[in-house]
Chain A
Amino acid sequence: MIVPYNHLLILASLVFIMGAACTVARRNLIMILVGVEIMLNAAALAFIAGSLQWRHLGGQAFVIFVFTVAAAEVAVGLALIVHLYRRTGSVLADDYSEMKG
C-alpha cells in the first residue's frame, strides 16, 4: 500500500546515524542526550515498521518499553547534568578534566 519496506528502514537508519553523529561530535552534554533520544526514536520507527511488515503486534508492544526507557534515561541523565553543573559550573564535556592530574 504505502511504500516499500526498504524505504522505512532507510529513513530509520538515516535518523539513527544522525543521532549517533550528534552523540559523538557534540561537546554539550545536553546535545549528547539529545543524540541518544534521536537514536531511540529511530529504533522505535524501525520496530513499528517491522511490526507492520510482519503483521505482528510485538514490535508495537516493544516501542512502549522503548519510550519507558527513554523517559527514565532522560530523567536520570538530566539530573546528572544538573549535578555536574553544580559541581563544575559547566556543561561542556571538555571541562571535566579534574582527574587528568
Chain B
Amino acid sequence: MTISGLIFYVLAIIILVATLLAITRRNPMHAIVYLVVSFFAMAPLFYLLGAPFLALLEIIIYAGAIMVLFLFIVMMLNIGATPFATGQWLRQWFPAVILSAVSGLAMVVLLWLEPTEQAMVPMAMASPRVLGRFVYQRYWFAVEIASFLLFVALVGAYYLGRKGAKLEDTHDRPL
C-alpha cells in the first residue's frame, strides 16, 4: 500500500466515524461540530483525488460558511438537546435502518456485478487555472444559472427572515 493509499484509508475512517457521531448526537451543537470534523477530513481527500481548488472550496464554503450558518442559527434560537419521545426508536430509527439496509444491499450488489474491480484510479491534479478555464468555456451558462439561483436564495432568505408585522401576532399562540 502506498503512502497516499494509507492517507486515504485514515481519512476515510475519520470521515465515517465523525459522520456517524454527527448523525446520532442529541444536541445539534455537538452534531455540527462533529460534522465540521468530517468536512475537514473530506478536504484533504479532495486534494488527494486531484481537486485542490475544490478542497479549498470545501473548507471555505462547507466548513466555513455553511456550518457557521448552522451554528449561528442554533445559538440564535437557543436549541437544546432534543427531548426523548416515547416510541422513538420504532417510529423513527426503524424506517431509517430499513432504508440504510436496502441501500447498502443495493450498493453491495452493484459493486459485486462491476467487472473493473481492482482498477486503481490514476494520479492526476487539476490546477485551479485549468478548472476555471474549463468551467467558463464549457459551462458558462450553468454558471449564470448558479448565480441566479444564489440571488433567488438571497431574496428568499431575506423575505422569510424579516420581522413581518403579521408574524409577531402568532408568536405566543399555543401549539
Contact = CB atoms under 8 A, between A and B. Distances in A.
A13 to B, nearest CB: 5
B137 to A, nearest CB: 10
Contacts of A81: 73, 77
A71 B65 contact: yes
B54 A15 contact: no
The residue in B23, B31, B32, B53 that gathers the most chain A C-beta atoms within 10 A of its C-beta is B23
Nearest to A70: B66
Contacts of A57: 126, 130-131, 134
A63 interface: yes
B139 A75 contact: no
Binding site of B, secondary structure by majority: helix, strand, loop or mixed?
Answer: helix
A101 interface: no
Contact of B157 (A25, A52, A76, A87): A76
Contacts, number: 250
Contacts of B100: 17-18, 20-21
A20 to B, nearest CB: 6
A75 B92 contact: no
B96 A60 contact: no
A74 B76 CA distance: 16
B121 A2 contact: yes
Nearest to B66: A74
B20 A18 contact: yes
Contact of B167 (A11, A14, A83): A83
Interface in B7-53: 8-9, 12, 15-16, 19-20, 22-23, 28, 31-32, 35, 38-39, 42, 45-46, 48-51, 53
Contact of B107 (A13, A44, A82, A92): A13
A68 B147 CA distance: 8
A61 B51 CA distance: 10
Interface string A1-24: 111111111110111111111101
Closest 8 CB pairs of A and B: A72-B153, A25-B96, A22-B23, A79-B160, A1-B123, A79-B157, A21-B96, A68-B146
Interface of B: 2, 4-5, 8-9, 12, 15-16, 19-20, 22-23, 28, 31-32, 35, 38-39, 42, 45-46, 48-51, 53-54, 57-58, 61-62, 65-66, 69-70, 73-74, 76-77, 79, 82, 85, 88, 92-93, 95-97, 99-100, 103-104, 107, 111, 114, 116-124, 126, 130-131, 134-135, 138-139, 142, 146, 149-150, 152-154, 156-158, 160-161, 167, 170-173, 175
